[in-house]
Amino acid sequence: MTLTVDNVVCGYDRAPILHGVSLHVEPGELVAVVGSNGAGKSTLVKTICGLVGVRGGDLTDDGQSFAKVSPAKRAKAGIVVVPEGRRLFPQLTVGENIQLGRHAAGKRATGDDPVKDLLDAFPIISERWNQQANLLSGGEQQMVALTRAVAARPRYLLLDEPSLGLSPLKTLDVFRLVELVRERTGAGILLVEQMADQALKAADRAYVLEHGQIAMEGPAADVRASPEVRRAYLGVAS
């Protein structure tokens, strides 16, 4: 059971963004994709969840192609995304947003509810349960977006820039929540993130995306220790 991006080419209109990108995510592992703005990170997420079409290569889930499957059917199969900007329903309460995730889980909603563990570990979510989502801080909204995604019982969870716009303290909270999500759900997590240092510390494996191509891959600790990555993404001279 592996989610695989195999030599994928895609883009917008006639402009290609990804040029033969290949990567994979195993159940229960956290895989980081780091790179500068414009490298194609968000396009990668949109391609896997079905918002951008594949022009070349393939997407497979446990060996079965889903490159032509609709976004709704991908979500129903357990490929769940937390998009950049969180995209909560602003006029609904926290509880109502999370309930929508539970509804999306469908037949996968069996066994213990992983949302309970998240609420126990981060009680601020429960404290805001009856508040409208648009009244929350950015960090609180990101926590709700992650909890809603977990309520959908993901097999694979795609996180697009979860730290975007957050303070350093709230960013740490979000990364703690991501670690807890992996522990409680066993989902394979693809973390696309510009905060390279935090992402590489959290991840098992990592890919560096540059100009729409994979420039480096390997164990996250090795990628983080690379002189090229330290100079380009971690602000370290050597």
Pairing of strands 156-160, 79-82: parallel
d(CA 166, CA 132): 19
Rg (alpha carbons) of the chain, rounded to whole number: 17
- Domains of the chain by range and CATH? 3-232 (3.40.50.300)
Q: Under a CB-based contact definition with an 8 Å cutoff, are residues 44 and 16 in contact?
A: no
Q: How far is CA 33 from CA 46, 49, 124, 169, 178, in A?
A: 14, 16, 29, 22, 15
- What is the pLDDT averaged over residues 102-116? 76
Residues 6+ apart with CB under 8 A from 100: 89, 92, 148, 151
Mean pLDDT across 80-106: 87
Report CA 207 to chain centroid distance, whole Å. 14
**Beta carbons of 148 and 101 less than 8 angstroms apart:** yes
Least confident of 49-63, 104-118, 205-219: 104-118
Alpha carbon 97 to chain centroid distance? 18
Q: Taking residues 94-100, report their average pLDDT.
A: 91
Write down the pLDDT at residue 237. Answer: 59
CA gap 157, 49 in Å, rounded: 10
Query: Given a cut of 60, is residue 181 above it in pLDDT?
Result: yes
pLDDT tens per residue across span 121-134: 888 889 999 999 98
